[in-house]
Amino acid sequence: MLSLARGQATRCGVCFPLQEFNQRFVVSHSLQSIPLFPKLLRLRVTTSFVSGSTQRVQTMLITTTYAFKGGVFPHPVCEFPAFLPKEVENIKDPFARKLASRIERLPVQVSFSDTCIMSSCVKPKVDSKKNPLLLLHGFDSSCLDWRYTLPFLEEAGLETWAIDILGWGFSDLKRLPPCDVASKREHLYQFWKSYIKRPMILVGPSLGAAVAIDFAVSHPQAVDRLIFINASVYAEGTGELANLPKTLAYAGVYVLKSMPLRLYVTSLAFSGLPLSTLFDWTNIGRLHCLLPWWEEATVDFMLRGGYNVVDQIEQVKQKTLILWGEDDQIIDNKLAVRLHSELPNAIIRQIPDCGHLPHVEKSAETSKLITEFL
C-alpha cells in the first residue's frame, strides 16, 4: 500500500501538490484504476513507497503513473512516430505508450541490401563512460517488452539501448531483406559498429539469448558481458517448419498473428492477469505484426531454419548472468541448470513468483540483478 500525506507527495525531496487528496491506494501491475484525483497529475513513485507486496504480476517500482478524475487512467499525451501502426493509439498501458513514443529509426548499411535499412530502436537518455547495455527481445516481439525495466536501468545511470531484431519490431522492411540468422547477425553488428562503437553488455531474453550467443561467438570484440533471461537456446532451429510448403507457412504465420493464439501465449507467460490487462498486453505484443511486411519476414525466418546455437554455448567466453523466473510455463527450469553448467563463466539467479518474462513481470528485481552484475 502507498500512503500519501494530505496535500503533498515527495520525490527526491521535491513536493508535488495534491490539493485535497488524502487517500490510500494499491500500486498494482494492472494500473487500471485509482481513487479520485482532483485533476490530471503526474506522480513519481519510487521503491521506498512499496513494501510487502506479494502480487503475482506487478511493476514494483512505478516510474510514471497517470491519474484522472473518475478513477480511470487516460492515455498519457504521447506523440507517436508516424511509422508505427495506427493501433498504437489503442494501447492503454502508460509505460508502453511512453516507450513507443521514443522509438526511432536509424539507418544501418548491410551487405545484403542496396539501401540502408531504417532500423527501429530506442536510444539512450543517459551517456556513460561505462560500457552500454543493448537490450534485445524474444521471438516475434519488439523493444516494447522493455517498457518497465528500461526506465529503471536509466534511473540507475546506465547507458541503455533497445533494438528491434531484424525481421521483427518496427524497422522499415518495404524492400524485404533476408531475415535468416546470418542477416540478423550482420544487421546487429553493423548497428553496433555505427552507433555503439565499444564493447557492450548484451541482454537477451527468451530467443534473444540465442541471438546474443550467436553474436557474441561471432563478434567477441563487441561484447563485454552477457545477460540471459529465461533463455531459449536449446531448440534446434525451426525444425520441421523449415520444410513446409510456402502456402502452409503463410497459413501458420496467419495463425501466429491471431488474437486467440496471442491471448493464449500471453496468459501462459503471465498467470493471474486481469482480463483488461491481458488484452492490452496482447495488443502490445502483437503491434509489430500489423506492419505490412511482417508475414513475409516471419515466413522467411521460418523457412530458413531459425537459430540453433547448441554447439556454440561452450564457445562463449564472456562473463554471463543467467536470470530465470522460477514459474516459467514455457521453458523448462532444468534448462537453466544445464545452461549454467555448460557456460564457462556464468552465474545464475532465480526470481521467485515469476514466469517467462521477468523484465516485464518483475522489472524491479530484474533491473536490480542486472545493475548488481555490472
User: What is the bridge-based pairing of β-strands 14-17 and 65-67?
Assistant: unpaired
The predicted pLDDT at position 229 comes to 98
Low-confidence spans in the chain with pLDDT less than 70:
1-77
The predicted pLDDT at position 205 comes to 98
**Are 68 and 209 contained in the same domain?**
no
Q: Per the domain annotation, does 80 fall within a domain?
A: no
The predicted pLDDT at position 3 comes to 35
**Are 281 and 198 contained in the same domain?**
yes
Q: Per the domain annotation, does 143 fall within a domain?
A: yes
Domain carrying residue 352: 86-373
The predicted pLDDT at position 179 comes to 92
Within 8 A by CB and 6+ apart from 275, the residues are none
How many structural domains compose the chain? 2
pTM over 0.75: yes
**Are 66 and 96 contained in the same domain?**
no
**Are 297 and 173 contained in the same domain?**
yes
The CATH number for 144's domain is 3.40.50.1820
User: What is the bridge-based pairing of β-strands 41-43 and 65-67?
Assistant: antiparallel
**Are 227 and 336 contained in the same domain?**
yes
**Are 206 and 303 contained in the same domain?**
yes
The predicted pLDDT at position 245 comes to 84
**Are 60 and 151 contained in the same domain?**
no
**Are 67 and 92 contained in the same domain?**
no
**Are 50 and 101 contained in the same domain?**
no
CA distance 112 to 183: 8
Find out whether 343 and 313 touch, Cβ atoms under 8 Å.
yes
The predicted pLDDT at position 356 comes to 94
- Catalytic machinery residues: 206, 328, 356
